[in-house]
Amino acid sequence: MAILKILTYPEKSLLQPSVKVDGITDEIKKLVEDMGETMFEAPGVGLAAPQVGVNKRIIVYDSNAANPEDDGSSKDFTALINPEIIHSSGSIVSDQEACLSVVDYSADVNRYETVVVKALDIGGKALEFEAHGILAVIMQHEIDHLDGILFIDRISLLKRSIYKKKVAKLMKAQ
């Protein structure tokens, strides 16, 4: 297994839609393992393939992220291949949502409270499940990555422009 480099805004490839995975090969399985290891090392609760420079519809997430009793010591993750949200309902504000690809920034983001996700597991088995609360937020956030959307695209224009100016200033200083 290997720790992968996480791409950060303003990397243009983060804004590109990802392509469907046609078959779950050994290469895909290795990528999934590396993504899981990278996510925990970062540390994060979710990671999408575009964040590590792979334009494929694959996400991994911390299997225990929604468990209030989890102390963070378990390194169990779940991979979803070609995930899509097929139903959503309710609304919540994701309090101070952050992203491994949007460095040093967090913001409140309006999200659905419940989503139904359809995907394949790493074995190629079709699955469908309902996610609530934090797990629903993780699903929306990571699937957004697969569509070329960052969480900063879901906040006010003013807050987004302040962040973009901050990044531009930091890049100029380098």
**Active-site residues: which are they?**
142
Tokens of 37: 């290891």
Which among 45, 51, 44 is positioned nearest to 7, based on CA atoms? 51
CA 54 distance to own-chain centroid: 13
The rounded distance, in Å, linking the Cα atoms of 76 and 72 is: 10
Residue 9: CB atoms within 10 A of its CB come to: 17
User: Is residue 146 classed exposed, middle or buried when 0-12, 13-18 and 19+ CB atoms within 10 A define those classes?
Assistant: buried
Tokens of 2: 């290997």
